[in-house]
Amino acid sequence: MRVRGQRELIESGVARGPDAFRCAMPVMFHDFARDFLKAAEGCQVTGDFSPVPCFLYCKSIELSLKAFLLAENVPVTKLKGKRSVGHNLERALEEAELQGLFDIVEIPRQYKEELRKANYYYVEKAFEYVDNYKVMMMRVDLPSLKVLFEFASILVEKLEKVCYEPMHMFAEKYRKRGK
């Protein structure tokens, strides 16, 4: 599916202006989601637990869901800011559900439960900052890395076509104009 990335489309001149950027945003978010997933897969954890893969999987999930929302023409203002989806994974999933995500990918109950556990830490940036690490370690309800990996992987795989569609449509429209 990934014939040409957003950089190639923009640099080639196929994608120009605000419409092109709007169409490229789902592609960029999806590509970054894939990159965070790959980084998590290659993460070498020392000790019994590290917040690093949790953060990387959560970031991949966040960006996949936002890529989908952008592809569905949800305004950027609804994705960032105080009264928006922000970095709240549960809110992002709820909004994606309203936009038809479950027509494309089935999300098992277990994935939603592990997302809820992960969101508790992710939204407070506990996977990122050492100050919050002690608070996180006191809780026994940590998310399953295996399930977060599966969830992130399924989103990246199943949402690729949807996220690339606006850019492909824009590129086709641009080519038809003869430019």
DSSP state of 42: T
> Each residue of 118-145: pLDDT tens digit?
998 899 888 888 666 665 665 667 899 9
Residue 140, both tokens:
């026994």
* Domains recognised in the chain with CATH numbers: 6-176 (1.20.120)
Q: Is the pLDDT of residue 51 over 70?
A: yes
Instruction: Tell me the C-alpha to C-alpha distance, in Å, between residue 148 and each of 25, 113, 144, 164.
Output: 24, 10, 6, 24
* Of the candidates 120, 128, 151, the residue with the CA atom closest to the CA atom of residue 52: 128
Q: Which amino acid is at 81?
A: G
Q: What band does 177 get if pLDDT is binned at 50, 70 and 90?
A: low
Rounded to whole angstroms, the Cα distance separating 128 from 116 reads 17
Rounded Cα gap, residues 57 and 37, in angstroms = 6
**Comparison of pLDDT for 157 and 173, the residue scoring more:** 157
Give every CB contact of residue 93 below 8 A, 6+ residues apart in sequence: 65, 101, 107, 112, 115
Average pLDDT over residues 53-63: 96
What's the confidence (pLDDT) of residue 75?
Answer: 86
What pLDDT score does 57 carry?
97
**Mean pLDDT along residues 152-167:** 89
Q: State yes or no: pLDDT of 10 exceeds 70.
A: no
